[in-house]
Structure 1
Amino acid sequence: MKTTISCDVHDYFEIVCMRKSQITITLHSEKTISGEASDIILNQEKQECLQMRENNVLHLIPLTEIKLLHAHNNPISAHNFQVKIT
């Protein structure tokens, strides 16, 4: 399993959190989670994690577990994009 992500990919996560974007992420396990991006924080294992809210449930997902980030349904069309994390 990867232990880091590239800076340019990290920037996409920062952007969606800053904008509080509606996103769907796909994990390496193929599980998908949709909701509002809110922050990037460290978990107890000191991993950088995406914090997002899905139907009033707060998720904390390590960035290295995410294989696809899809920002969608945001009011400004340029804020909608898809990035494959490699």
Structure 2
Amino acid sequence: MVNPTDPNEVRLTGENSFIRLQESEDGPQLTRTSHWRVLWSPAGQGHVLFITSELTSDAVKIYADNIALARWLQEEIESMLFPEFADQS
């Protein structure tokens, strides 16, 4: 498989953390989050939280202080990491 990214191109600077919650080690994921703290990207800087949980009726919710950054992350990164977070419908 061809790598979809250029290893010589800086896409963003910042941090990305994941949290996955389960009741038991082999149980289903009840909550999944992806938090981004971006210092630089083509869409600017900001914070974005993607979450799907039993608390959101398993719907994907997005909280962001920069909507352009959220959309850029969906198109460029989340589409490869966790496609459910990339859905813009």
Q: What is the TM-score of this pair, normalised by structure 2?
A: 0.26
* Structure (1 or 2) with the greater strand fraction: 1
Q: What is the TM-score of this pair, normalised by structure 1?
A: 0.27
Report which structure shows greater RCO (CA 8 Å, sep ≥6): 1
| Bigger Rg, structure 1 or 2 | 2
